[in-house]
Amino acid sequence: MDKDELITFILNKEMNRALGCTEVGIIGYTVAKAKPEDPYNIKNIELTLDKRTFKNAFAVAVPNTGKFGILPAVVAGLLGDPKNKLEVFKDIKYDEELEKLISKKLKVNIVNRDELYCRVKIDDRIAETIGSHTGEVVPPDVRDRFLSLSPEDFKNYIENLPKEIVPKLKEAIELNYNLTTPEGFIYLKINDKILNNMIKKTASAIYNRMVGIPKSAMAIGGSGNMGIMATVPIVVYDKLTDNDKDKLLRSIALSSIMTIYSTYLSSYISPMCGCVNRGGIGATAGLAYYIYGFDKVDEAVKNYSSNLAGMLCDGGKVGCSFKIASGVFSSYLSVNTNLKGFGGILGKDMLDTLKNVSKIEKSMDPVEDKVIEILKEKMNESN
């Protein structure tokens, strides 16, 4: 495939509908693949997760359950349809009696693996989801080829946007903006209408998702929150300014490309906050392109990376909305600042800078291990 076909292939693979946090989603999906006809006859359930999936699923809401964490994700998976994949919790009716039964039979194991890993054993039935949230993995040589592309390749792609990717981009805009209401939890009065609305809408969408509102998001790079961060600030800017749908589509395409590029430099879940350090990089690139054109993108991405690189991920939770607010502010500042930095981790261009950010990210494993220890202690205290 040529370069444009490659980028289109990657976007189609890495932009997926998801209902709720994708880590409770992978649990529910895997459980649904192994569920017996009558869940009330289950004798034992053993759930094995990589440590990062455990981290992100630990305290996040499960849609259509009114509950948070791993146990309701397992129960909801028993009620869901595996054909729905990461929308497995769609249209379920939660069963409190089943939760009481499963709570006595569920054992959770946490393993130290670099790849996404979810294994469910229900009596003699086994299902696994490995390597991505759906188990569909982009071949390593295809990922490597994508990572070898240049900023000029990305520019050529978005400015000659293939028609076949447009429906996916439009769906991402519609789904993720739809999550921005209601706005009930955040009361900002920043004296800048655009920035105020960008923060309120984006943070509200993340909050709504983390409390389990039953609306799907378009996940980008394995994360619905990253998808929201990569799209909503740009959509808000478009609605309040030019209302230029062609430019919006090109900007969302660039944002998605940069979000996925940043993800491929490390892993789907990492010690650093992906919403800020990946979705935020995408949003910054897309917003810079929308406002000033491609020539501003490199500088804006480097400005952003010099500010928020290293923000810790301590798991999916309602507090992610506050991290996102910081990311939106930094993105807007980075785009609208004439600062040509070169110190610290900044590289010769934005892609070189992102490679340096990934080096910092990979060095944070010991910090993440401490987060996992804290969560394990909290889990043991609650049992």
| Interior angle at CA 283, CA 27 and CA 191, nearest 5 | 115
List CB contacts of 131: < 8 A, sequence separation 6 or more: 115, 116, 137
**Do the strands 216-220 and 15-19 form a parallel or antiparallel pair, or are they unpaired?**
antiparallel
Question: From start to end of 221-304, where are the E strands?
Answer: none
Task: Confirm if 103 and 59 have CB atoms less than 8 A apart.
Answer: no
55 vs 21: CA distance, rounded Å: 12
Task: Confirm if 223 and 22 have CB atoms less than 8 A apart.
Answer: yes
Tokens of 149: 């592309």
| The one catalytic residue among 21, 118, 313, 320 | 21
320 is catalytic: no
Residue type, 7: I
Tokens of 175: 């789904």
- Residue found under tokens 């989801």: 129
- Catalytically active residues, by annotation: 21
